[in-house]
Amino acid sequence: MTGSRKKSADRENQRTSRRNFLKAAGGSAVAATVAAVAVPSLATDDESGQQADKKQYGMVIDVRKCIGCHSCSVACKAEFDVPLGATRSWVEYTDKGTYPNVSRNFLPRLCNHCRHAPCVDVCPTGATYKRKQDGIVVVDAGLCIGCKYCIQACPYDARFLNPLTGVVDKCDFCIHRVSKGLEPSCVNSCVGGARIFGDISDPESEISRVMATNPVTVLRPGMGTEPNVYYIGADHSDEHENKRGWYDVRVTTHRKEKDRR
């Protein structure tokens, strides 16, 4: 904490010294000296104060513990009455290789609650936004017009148009449970204990400890979305690799969309 405060104070000093130079060039060096003294203390207080309340909920999925039972998908369906043919949370199977050198890996999927969420950037009505208090990306079902722009923009195909409501729907980390101190339904129902949910910004939380002590990956890191769902031991193989002809990859999405986006 003190380290980060010191760093931001340094940055502030740099900024003010640049301002200093400009103002001195303008001929009012005295005012600038006052500003250089006054501004840094105010700014750092403000920043650290904000940082203290800022949560970022996230999830680590330890794929080594996943048995591909779809409990999470079923629990999610039941929790939200998700209509037939749509999924907020689903499990993909990746089958690789040719007998006898084969493997099957599971990849549980959900909304990544990205730090830079492309869906939020494109939403024309402000219906989708990232909550300041906990970093959950939500859809305001009362504002959404169902234009499907966010569905196009999501690199994870996490969103769908709910045919019953006509608005866009997706995983919201079980906001109704989480806000009452419960775990999300998929975490609660995971028989292998593969899912860990918590506040990533708190270094003492279980999720932060697991992330710090294990190799973790995110999906499509090249998109720059900075997801908040992390995987341990995930197989990132995709059917695109088949064109190399080395080994067969077959992905079963268990969704209406047979292809991974």
Tell me which residues touch another protein (CB under 8 A). 118, 121-127, 143-149, 151-155, 161-162, 165-168, 219-220, 222-224, 236-238, 240, 256-257, 259-261
CB of 19 to another protein, least distance (A): 28
Nearer to another protein, 208 or 237 (CB): 237
Q: What is the C-alpha to C-alpha distance for residues 197 and 183, in angstroms, rounded to an integer?
A: 7
Segments in the chain forming alpha helices (H): 2-26, 29-53, 71-80, 118-122, 149-153, 175-178, 185-189, 206-213
Helix 2-26 crosses helix 29-53 at what angle (to 10 degrees)? 150
Nearer to another protein, 121 or 206 (CB): 121
CB of 258 to another protein, least distance (A): 8
Beta-carbon contacts of 160 under 8 Å, excluding residues fewer than 6 positions away, are 86, 87, 151, 168, 169, 170
Nearer to another protein, 32 or 86 (CB): 86
Nearer to another protein, 167 or 216 (CB): 167
CB of 196 to another protein, least distance (A): 21
Strand partners, 130: 137
CB of 234 to another protein, least distance (A): 9
